[in-house]
Structure 1
């Protein structure tokens, strides 16, 4: 299934070092713009191609063209912002950037591909290919290298510092399979200049029921569910949905959906410490726990809301909606 790992690995390891100036020349920028156009077309085809063969062929062409483009002098400073099917994320210190993209089969299974490009003082190219080995990793909580990567599409990087060490917490999404998808938190560090994925950073020491510290954190849930897992600067926490089985079958992760409660991780003393509940809503006297069904399709992952806030928003929307006409006119009921 990982049909492209040898190609990407060989291309990255065989690359000569390219010494560069401190910024892109106009000629190199123009060259990269042209190469970006070709990459954009291939990227669209490898995601939306009509079948597995079409996407496979686009992938085979995309990888060497991307490496060729990155060999341009000081390519680190070119954003590649037209590559809509490739996620490119930088940490706060911009010491590297990560390219990730997905490979989906006709039967709905996902694998992932990527590379880390380091920022170098002389503008030379330094890449670490990311080889998706999630299919073969028996223990998902293990610490791995870039050649045994738990593949996903990264959508955020949270940088923290503790005892002269930089920690890069990666928020990722995995399309997984036809029945479920996943979101995960991973930790990237660099040891002797080499990337290391996973670290004992996710602590449950403050929970009433203690759990072992984890190297990596996962949420698996129903395919069409809308689930939050991200860092929110205004709260200074990584917040995620509390999930429950909608069919009361907790062993079946593909039945898990949010229940509008939230958990979180807070950075404390070099670890992400688990917070079991971030909202503690109190009902007014006589108030029902749920005056109307909560519409999970309208859930906004960019703004964390308590159940009370969601109910208020839905009530306001219902009040603003025009009343449906009927054959028998009756006074409109108050919302």
Structure 2
């Protein structure tokens, strides 16, 4: 019995290694092309050069994603591509930036959703692989935190974290992203996401119970939102990430450098206190002034461009010049 057990382990290991090599070989040449194009998306001397490179980049990436095996591929060597994956590999979201000015960026992306179904009672299992291109319309959408959006009308950013609902039956998700909004300010967004059975994504589901008075000393004024948009000084960083120890999304509390500047978002910066979102009954509920005495818990939520372990390297989230 013990010999059979070890034989099974060896067979599974051999199969897994072989499958990994097959996946790598299938996409290697195309991914090499993405690596070459990635540099020009940020550093080409002309806008036309960046546009041309980006069209080729999109075409090659989409051709890779149309192969159902690509959902298992490790894209970490593509320097400007951020990939967030659902924990059971049901879907992925791919996003990247194109530099359009010294401190301005445009955003592009694809969603990849897979569903398995059996053909007939005893037939083979078929993998349905759905790909949708994301079109950035954030200039038109503005800071609308209530509107429902879709792939053709997307609040563009680079997503760096996906948060699944603690309840398996709840198929809604939070996705956290970065937007290098302009020279003076940066934005982060907590977006809400769902897919239908055909892999069509929709953004902006009213599952966020947020305090509209969060930046003041006034009593809480709770409203239901579809997304939360933070804007703050481009000279500082803001932490915003799911903390597994606290089982919450934890983020820096932002405040203006002077109370008289409250309307100027580019004056906002972390004030060394923390707020968060906790899950209850299919809703993420805002919690003000978290009592986070163990600083290691908070440090675990810190996200920085140089954090290569968590797939956020310098060229993924470009640093300002």
Partner residue of 2:256 out of 238, 245, 262: 245
In the alignment, what sits opposite 2:87?
92
Stretch of structure 1 that moved more, 215-224 or 193-202? 193-202
The equivalences for 1:35-184 within 5 A come to 35-72=30-67, 74-121=69-116, 122-123=126-127, 125-137=129-141, 139-160=144-165, 162=167, 164-184=169-189
Question: For 1:27 and 1:274, how far apart are their aligned partners in 2?
Answer: 45
Partner residue of 1:254 out of 240, 245, 266: 266
| Structure 1 position 107, deviation (Å) | 4.2
| 1:36-63 deviation digits (Å, cap 9, x = unpaired) | 1111110122123233233222112111
Question: For 1:205 and 1:136, how far apart are their aligned partners in 2?
Answer: 25
| Structure 1 position 301, deviation (Å) | 6.9
The answer to whether the 8 Å contact 2:145/2:225 transfers is: no
Query: Could you say which structure has the higher strand fraction?
Result: 2
SS at match of 1:172: strand
The answer to whether the 8 Å contact 1:24/1:74 transfers is: no
5+ residue gaps, structure 1, are 1-22, 282-298, 306-335
The answer to whether the 8 Å contact 2:145/2:229 transfers is: no
The answer to whether the 8 Å contact 1:91/1:168 transfers is: no
Aligned length: 266
The answer to whether the 8 Å contact 1:115/1:130 transfers is: yes
Question: For 1:218 and 1:188, how far apart are their aligned partners in 2?
Answer: 15
| Structure 1 position 263, deviation (Å) | 0.7
| Structure 1 position 110, deviation (Å) | 2.0
**Is the alpha carbon distance of 1:213 and 1:28 closer, same or farther for their aligned partners in structure 2, counting shifts above 3 Å?**
closer
The answer to whether the 8 Å contact 1:24/1:75 transfers is: no
Question: For 1:241 and 1:73, how far apart are their aligned partners in 2?
Answer: 38
| Structure 1 position 92, deviation (Å) | 1.7
SS at match of 1:119: strand
5+ residue gaps, structure 2, are 1-17, 117-125, 303-321
In the alignment, what sits opposite 2:282?
270
In the alignment, what sits opposite 2:244?
233
| 1:55-104 deviation digits (Å, cap 9, x = unpaired) | 22211211111112223352222222211210011022220001000122
Partner residue of 1:303 out of 280, 292, 300: 300
SS at match of 2:229: strand
Question: For 2:173 and 2:89, how far apart are their aligned partners in 1?
Answer: 11
**Is the alpha carbon distance of 1:264 and 1:232 closer, same or farther for their aligned partners in structure 2, counting shifts above 3 Å?**
same
Question: For 1:73 and 1:280, how far apart are their aligned partners in 2?
Answer: 43
The equivalences for 1:317-328 within 5 A come to none
**Is the alpha carbon distance of 1:261 and 1:61 closer, same or farther for their aligned partners in structure 2, counting shifts above 3 Å?**
same
**Is the alpha carbon distance of 1:238 and 1:120 closer, same or farther for their aligned partners in structure 2, counting shifts above 3 Å?**
same
| Structure 1 position 132, deviation (Å) | 0.8
**Is the alpha carbon distance of 1:172 and 1:76 closer, same or farther for their aligned partners in structure 2, counting shifts above 3 Å?**
same
**Is the alpha carbon distance of 1:301 and 1:254 closer, same or farther for their aligned partners in structure 2, counting shifts above 3 Å?**
farther
**Is the alpha carbon distance of 1:280 and 1:90 closer, same or farther for their aligned partners in structure 2, counting shifts above 3 Å?**
closer
Kindly indicate whether residue 195 of structure 2 is the aligned counterpart of residue 190 of structure 1: yes
Question: For 1:26 and 1:279, how far apart are their aligned partners in 2?
Answer: 47
| 1:177-206 deviation digits (Å, cap 9, x = unpaired) | 111110110111123532110111111479
Using CA pairs under 8 Å that are at least 6 residues apart, name the structure with larger relative contact order, 1 or 2: 2
SS at match of 1:64: helix
**Is the alpha carbon distance of 1:251 and 1:72 closer, same or farther for their aligned partners in structure 2, counting shifts above 3 Å?**
same
Q: TM-score, normalised by structure 2?
A: 0.75
